[in-house]
Amino acid sequence: MTLDSKIPAGPLSEKWDNHKFKLKLVNPANKRKYDIIVVGTGLAGASAAASLAELGYNVKTFCFQDSPRRAHSIAAQGGINAAKNYRNDGDSVYRLFYDTIKGGDYRAREANVHRLAQVSVNIIDQCVAQGVPFAREYGGLLDNRSFGGAQVSRTFYAKGQTGQQLLLGAYSAMNRQIAEGKIKSYTRHEMLDVVLVDGQARGIIARDLVTGEIERHAGHAVLLCTGGYGNVFYLTTYARGSNGTAVWRAHKKGAYFGNPCFTQIHPTCIPVSGDHQSKLTLMSESLRNDGRIWVPKEKGDKRKPEAIPENERDYYLERIYPSFGNLVPRDIASRKAKEVCDEGRGVGSTGLAVYLDFADAIKRLGKDAVEAKYGNLFDMYKQITGEDPYQTPMRIYPAVHYTMGGLWVDYNLMTSVPGLYACGEANFSDHGANRLGASALMQGLADGYFVIPATLGDYLASVERKPISSDSPEFDAAEKAVKDGIEKLLSIKGNKTVHEFQRELGQIMWNHCGMARNEAGLKEGIEKIKQLRNEFWKDIHIPGTDQELNQNLEKAGRVADFLELGELMMVDALHRNESCGGHFREEFQTPEGEARRDDDNYTYVAAWEYKGEGQPEQLHKEKLDFESVTLTQRSYK
Amino acid sequence: MGSMLKMLNSSIGQKVIMSLTGLFLCSFLLVHVSGNLQLFKDDHGLAFNQYTVFMTTFTPIKIVSYLLYATILIHAINSLLLTMANRKARAVGYQSRKDPRSSSWASKNMGILGTILLIFLITHMANFWYQYKFGDTPWAEYSVDLNSGMVLGEPIVIEGEDLHPHEYVRTDASGNEVNVVVVKNLYAVVKEAFTQPLLVVLYLIGMIALAYHMVHGFQSSFQTLGIRHNTYTPLIRGIGIWLFGIIIPLLFAAMPVYFFLQL
Amino acid sequence: MSSENMNLTLKVWRQRNGQSQGSFETYQAKSVSPDMSFLEMMDVVNEDLIKGGKDPIAFDHDCREGICGTCSMYINGRAHGPVKGVTACQLHMRSFIDGETITIEPWRATAFPVLKDLIVDRSAFDRIQQAGGFVSVNTGSVPDANAIPVAKACADEAFNSAACIGCGACVAACKNSSAMLFVSAKVSQYAMLPQGDVERKDRVIKMVSQMDEEGFGTCTNTEACEAECPKGISVTNIARLNREYLRAKLTE
């Protein structure tokens, strides 16, 4: 199968409008004859479910959490970008597009990104109308802040809770449709497989996580809005439950995986404190607006930060990147932090941290102003570390935060399996090799509120309007496979816990496929994963049964999938002989240590096709054509 | 009207009933305490007894007093219903429960305090109200010097059928005009009752319960009615604590103590 | 940072499922680092249980950074434990002392039935929101964001109410298992914004009615909810809910 991205013809700024006009429509009376399955109820899933139900489709939503409102979109702190130009600072749809393409190191589709920038303005309108309490100025109009990778202030925010507020907005829209009977919400349910009938996605197999019952759900289309797979690294800013199971099982059913190695490491997280750690907590990137990042100039300087005089501090981001300073994109900020720590100039007990200092900001703006802006983040930091950031600089270190890679989708967000769609972080589409801050919320909502409601009809218009039965050989087979898989897991009764496997896998991924990668390390990593996977299937021990609420069983299924997905990430990282965005191959860097792209050979999306257990995956390349922007080496100096 | 009834049936509505009845009872407390202050008057109970006549015969007051009895019943019964519903809302309790320090003791024990108050009220009504209305409260005849306004000594106990409160003026032996007042002598009943230490203790317990009940109840009823304001809420809390929680219960408590110590 | 590790005794509520009877079991948590979060301590205990061939303790958790509202433990008599303004996942073991016995119970409310061990079903909250916790606007049919000015004070207040994470600590902490703080926060958010004004009356009536149907208790204004709320939602919201409800009912 060849990859057809279905990018519409015509000038960049007219593509989306032209495309929308050309898409087939489903007449309003017929919409209620279609059943849509939405898996995941974060920003993408909740907004898609609500919008599709408003259009008249029958929607079923699934989430593993106890309520749709708890999806991890809720944890995004800083904000959401939109090209409103309310600040009169020269912003425009084109500039947001340009910043995003450039920030993504030219590994995203122009057409998708431009559409994202276009609809960004509608997102803010929509959210405000829903009652999302964005920050406002005294005149009653919306406030903006600036964010990494941009020189304009286009980020809308709700204190440090933008993600929660936006998700609650989408959740409220969903609730309205649930009340109207257009959405049926299944909580504490996990999708365990996609069911294909005649090569088209026609339903899912899900497990009721309370009773353990395996259920069949049929529909005319399936939307995967299940977020990213960063938890393959174990210690991340993701929620403990975030997983790659839905996308991975879809992948195994034929959906290509796009750019799996593109993962984002967020520069401002609270450093690891010990072996027991289960999670890394992110501090919003907005802190970089006023905080200054530094390390001591001397190696192994163990003095307290206050005791180190100004001239013995190295504000390395301001030094290397005078024009963007502390606001360079995330991949650069993270990598530089790793470099200074590797040089032995890291701070804190582990030496794996740099300072983020607010002393100047407090002097300049006053403690009250700093508190008003960042109070909740400071409180959180203090609660976790026991240190007061008003008195002493924060210690931060990068942590895995987002996956730009995901299921390959065409311009309509359909995967390579007809009828199977992927929205939000679950797809690979808009961020290229690196995502800019405050763009994840934007993409999730763009996909859910504005893209999928327009594009889904085009597919459904050609699908028969009769109900899909879940009583078919395909559903039988899928259900049996799921049940067999669970039984296999439970029957091993080995000696190691899921937790142990997950940690080991995370270590392998972080060491071999983390902030910096190289050929030898990746090859070694692949071998290690294979070994660990073998061990997993021989030695996993899962207490309890499948007929009850069994959190270890849930986790085991997810880790089993991560053990396969992790390998594909490494294979992808190994094949991409260049450095771009979050993918930094040590062999490919400029003399100054910056990422060196290879545009001649790697200006494409790597879409991997599953070929069966134990078989190498097949690479398909979707060439990226840049008509509007010129590819340049990113420079934030 | 249907909507009103439905509203009163809702959880908030039931709390509104508690709030409104509670506030009405608060207003009664104010009236009751100011009226009863006449017990302290050095007139052998004349003013108090006259006040009692007014309170039991003036029609508007009579109507209000029936309203009051109904209010007490509604307040008590509704609280019982609420307590039962609230018990049902937590069928299985905690083993390790600790309440946050910020929650006042009173707020958590309104039911117990209310029960003590109800017991107190029943005793109180039996002792005085029932005694006055249906018991053998003695009749007394007071003489008041119309020139000086002074009550001339202890009243004379009078007996007979068909007595009713009345007064007339007569001229005494020395030519002074004297107002003669015939009333039921509830004052004597009060004075007599509070010679019993047990009853005094019961009254003191009742007033402690009242104090705590008021400290929480007064401000809480405003919260239930949705009245909350940065400036006025502290004022309401102040009134609840100082007037209803301290001053009124103290004044009430002073009455049995006053008679017990025969001050 | 880290001082000495601690040894603790845990008394944990264990219950196989919603139908079965539960009871307390005692476990030892050895060598607990003060830098661990409470849930990380539970992870360690669970690893030991699994290794010892026992069933691990089921507890709800997800983001582990205090925002998703999933974790729900009643620790030593307090919802989310002894520290004010944090969820159980943000509670660190430095808040406990060596040798301490810690009692861990699920949220207790008839409207939050236990599903297993420390996990309860909070779908009642979802149903309350479904009853009216939204502004009826369809995707796409909205004016420009700045066409709806909102006074900063209102926007800030609305945000403070909207900061509720729906964890249910208010219900767990209330002696009556009342959900008034949760419901009032949502009603308040919309009541303070012009966007919410149109459906104001209908919303409050429907949400309160659903709240009652779910079997939560009534509000006695003990204010335990505010004290235990990890997001510091104020009982001012409850007064506002009462006001909104009365106004809606009296002018219906």
Q: What is the pLDDT of residues A123-143, one digit of tens each?
A: 999 999 999 999 999 999 999
pLDDT band of residue C221 (cuts 50, 70, 90) is very high
Q: Is the pLDDT confidence value at A634 over 80?
A: no
Domain of residue C15 covers: 6-116
H or E stretch including B256? helix B248-260
CA–CA dist C214, C224 (Å, integer): 21
Domain count, chain A: 2
Strand partners, A402: A264
Domain boundaries, given as residue ranges, for chain B: 2-87+105-137+193-260, 139-184
Q: Do C245 and C132 share a structural domain?
A: yes
Q: Do A384 and A275 share a structural domain?
A: yes
Residue pLDDT, tens place only, C79-133: 999 999 999 999 999 999 999 999 999 999 999 999 999 999 999 999 999 999 9
Among C100, C116, C132, the domain boundary falls at C116
Better-predicted residue by pLDDT, C252 or A562: A562
Between β-strands A394-403 and A183-186, what pairing exists: parallel, antiparallel or unpaired?
A: unpaired
Residue found under tokens 């909502």: A445
Provide the pLDDT for residue A283.
85
Subunits adjacent to chain B (3 or more Cβ pairs under 8 Å): C
Q: Do C136 and C96 share a structural domain?
A: no
Residue pLDDT, tens place only, A520-563: 999 999 999 999 999 999 999 999 999 999 999 999 999 999 99
pLDDT band of residue B1 (cuts 50, 70, 90) is low
Among C65, C86, C116, the domain boundary falls at C116
Provide the pLDDT for residue B216.
97
| Facing B94 at nearest CB: one of C105, C235, C250 | C105
Q: Quick check: B103 and C223 CB within 8 A?
A: yes
Taking alpha carbons only, the member of A282, A235, A271 closest to residue A349 is A271
Q: Is the pLDDT confidence value at B130 over 50?
A: yes
Q: Do A604 and A498 share a structural domain?
A: yes
Tell me the helices (H) and strands (E) count for chain C, helix number first.
9, 7
Q: What's the rounded mean pLDDT across residues B169-192?
A: 91
- In chain B, which among 203-232 make CB contacts under 8 A with chain C? 216, 219-220, 223-228
Q: Do C89 and C180 share a structural domain?
A: no
Q: Do chains A and C touch (3 or more CB pairs under 8 A)?
A: yes
How far is residue C20 from each of residues A66, C115, C116, C118, measured CA to CA in Å?
21, 10, 9, 13
Contact (CB, 8 A) for B25 and B71: yes
Q: Do C229 and C111 share a structural domain?
A: no
Least confident of A292-301, A435-444, A592-601, B226-235: A592-601
Q: Do C102 and C131 share a structural domain?
A: no
Between β-strands A263-269 and B166-171, what pairing exists: parallel, antiparallel or unpaired?
A: unpaired
Residue found under tokens 């000495």: C4
H or E stretch including B178? strand B177-184
Residue found under tokens 């700024």: A13
SS3 of B139, please?
A: strand
- Residues in chain C with CB shorter than 8 Å from the CB of B4 are 249-250
Does residue C1 lie in a domain region? no
Does residue C149 lie in a domain region? yes
Question: Phi and psi (nearest 5°) for A6?
Answer: 55, 30
Provide the pLDDT for residue B26.
97
Q: Do A513 and A604 share a structural domain?
A: yes
Better-predicted residue by pLDDT, B107 or B173: B107
CA–CA dist B250, B134 (Å, integer): 30
Q: Quick check: B103 and C222 CB within 8 A?
A: yes
Better-predicted residue by pLDDT, A40 or A383: A40
CA–CA dist B77, C26 (Å, integer): 43
- Residues in chain B with CB shorter than 8 Å from the CB of C224 are 99-100, 102-103
Domain of residue A554 covers: 477-611
Rounded to two decimals, the ipTM of the complex is 0.97
3-state helix/strand/coil string of A587-599: CCECCCCCECCCH
Q: What's the rounded mean pLDDT across residues A193-219?
A: 98
Q: Do C128 and C108 share a structural domain?
A: no
State whether residue B235 sits within 8 Å of chain C by CB.
no
Mean pLDDT of chain B: 93
State whether residue C76 sits within 8 Å of chain B by CB.
yes
Does residue A368 lie in a domain region? yes
Interface test with A, best of C62, C159, C199 (most A CBs within 10 A): C62
Provide the pLDDT for residue A350.
86
Provide the pLDDT for residue A477.
98
How far is residue C143 from each of residues A163, C137, C140, measured CA to CA in Å?
22, 11, 9
Taking alpha carbons only, the member of A58, A127, A81, A63 closest to residue A450 is A127
Residue pLDDT, tens place only, C123-151: 999 999 999 999 999 999 899 999 999 99
Min Cα distance C95 → chain A (Å) is 10
Q: What's the rounded mean pLDDT across residues B78-87?
A: 96
Residue A330 among the catalytic residues: yes
Domain count, chain C: 2
pLDDT band of residue C1 (cuts 50, 70, 90) is very low
Strand partners, C109: C112
Q: Is the pLDDT confidence value at B246 over 70?
A: yes
- Residues in chain A with CB shorter than 8 Å from the CB of C116 are 210, 548-549
| Facing C33 at nearest CB: one of A276, A281, A548 | A276
Q: What's the rounded mean pLDDT across residues A425-452?
A: 96
Q: Check which CATH number belongs to the domain holding A563 and give it.
A: 1.20.58.100
Does residue A99 lie in a domain region? no
Q: Check which CATH number belongs to the domain holding C227 and give it.
A: 1.10.1060.10
Q: What's the rounded mean pLDDT across residues A405-413?
A: 98
Q: Quick check: B15 and C250 CB within 8 A?
A: no
| Facing B90 at nearest CB: one of C177, C211, C220 | C177
| Facing A383 at nearest CB: one of C90, C116, C144 | C90
Min Cα distance B208 → chain C (Å) is 19
Among A367, A385, A400, the domain boundary falls at A400
Q: Is the pLDDT confidence value at A148 over 60?
A: yes
Mean pLDDT of chain A: 95
Contact (CB, 8 A) for C159 and C232: no
Q: Quick check: C152 and A136 CB within 8 A?
A: yes
Does residue A367 lie in a domain region? yes
Q: Do A497 and A387 share a structural domain?
A: no
Residue pLDDT, tens place only, A295-352: 999 998 989 999 999 999 999 999 999 988 998 888 889 999 988 998 999 999 888 9
Q: Check which CATH number belongs to the domain holding C32 and give it.
A: 3.10.20.30
Does residue A16 lie in a domain region? no
Question: Phi and psi (nearest 5°) for A395?
Answer: -105, 130
Is the Cα torsion angle B154, B158, B162, B168 positive or negative in sign? Answer: negative
Q: Do A482 and A367 share a structural domain?
A: no
Q: Do A393 and A481 share a structural domain?
A: no
State whether residue B174 sits within 8 Å of chain C by CB.
no
Residue pLDDT, tens place only, C33-65: 998 999 999 999 999 999 999 999 999 999 999
Among C91, C116, C141, the domain boundary falls at C116
Does residue A347 lie in a domain region? yes
Compute the count of residue pairs across chains A and C with CB atoms less than 8 Å apart.
228
Catalytic position from the list A154, A330, A558, A576? A330
How far is residue B213 from each of residues B18, B37, B75, measured CA to CA in Å?
13, 22, 13
